[in-house]
Amino acid sequence: PVKRGPGGDWSRGPTMPFLTQEKLAVMAFDHKYASSGCSVLDGLIMQKFWNYIVAFLPLKHDPGATFHWSAPNTMTLGGLMCTFIPTMVLVYYCPDLESTAPTWVYVLNAAGIFIYQTLDALDGKQARRTGSSSSFGELFDHGCDALSCILGTLGSAVCLQLGYSWSSFILMMCACVAFCGAHIQSYYKGSLTFGLFDVTEIQFLGIFLYMMCAVGDANFWNTELYGVPLKLVPAWFTIVLTSLIILGNMYVTSTRKPVSYASTKVHEIWLGPLLEIGLATGWFASSRHLFNGYDFVLFMLAIGVLNAAHALSLIIAHMAQAAVGWQVLLRFLPLALCATASISQLVPVRQAIHMCLALNLVIFFHYSISVCYQISTFLGIRIFKVGAPTAKDTRKN
């Protein structure tokens, strides 16, 4: 019933068809991105800055080029790399989350956050300017945001020298659950909601932390104020604020009337994040005294990648106006098995962490590549080139 673009048949390819033709059609033709609210910095300064910068991006592109550097999805992926590379450099110098790094590493991370923030804001504006907006671009943007969320939080924990502490763990778990919570609320309300203190403000807080380490002494955060280590102030400020946001998401999804297509019950859709918290907390509590070297970093990356895969399922359910199937919970099986094997001492904790990370990476990339292939082929677009979708909706004919 739908005329697809020139990319070919979505059901034929090297990937698994996670999405039916009906879901693809809803994502392509019925779903419209919607958001409400505006943070303080976005409204006062940043939107003006981003609107000024986007005017310098080209509107015309060479159709014969392999990719376009100013294509929205290219900018989105570039922004992700601007958080991934600096964070990995920082972790290289501070694998125990307590060491200090050279000054240039902190400056690199601060610059990375700012560039990521800018590119993340420009990609949607550039898509609308060039007429290349699509459901794929929205999904690709949110998928990269899911990965950047855990990378940015991990970098902040390293910057504050929180070590393998409960503060580090809770900070990163809050970031994961808050990201899923925002999209759970979006699934029930039909739009993504932004508060007065939101992503932009948290990103600038991260930039401030990095520049404090670069300009002054990185050990500054270990000084005590009335007997309390100074590093715990920004850490727990973020934890408390994020926890309140999560509770707000739970309240809204539990008490407000959902949109018509949100057929998944509230307790079912929140089961994924709660299961993630329970498994990760049990494993961390029983094994953190055995962590050494990069163990904690790899542990949290394994949780973060799993969280990103689950968030993608929530986002797709919202865009396809479909139920969140119970099958998504199967993604938590590797975490459950590896945690059980580690806690029962069947497998050394380091090997269990490596196994968990490897399995979660396979799950994430298989799922994300599969849905990217399906949606882009259905729409008839090239992911890293500027061009309007060519698929035609003939369902009413």
Give CA–CA dist 238/230, Å, rounded: 14
Among the listed residues 142, 183, 318, 354, the single catalytic one is 142
pLDDT at 397 (0 to 100): 55
pLDDT digits (tens, 9 = 90+) for 220-230: 888 888 888 98
Mean of pLDDT values over 90-119: 95
Q: What is the pLDDT of residues 228-264, one digit of tens each?
A: 898 999 999 999 999 999 999 999 999 988 888 888 9
219 — pLDDT class (breaks 50, 70, 90): confident
Residue 318 known to be catalytic: no
Q: What digits encode the pLDDT tens for the residues 9-56?
A: 433 444 457 898 999 999 999 999 888 888 899 999 999 999 999 999
pLDDT in the model for residue 7: 41
What is the overall mean pLDDT for the chain?
90
Give yes or no for residue 1 having a pLDDT over 90.
no
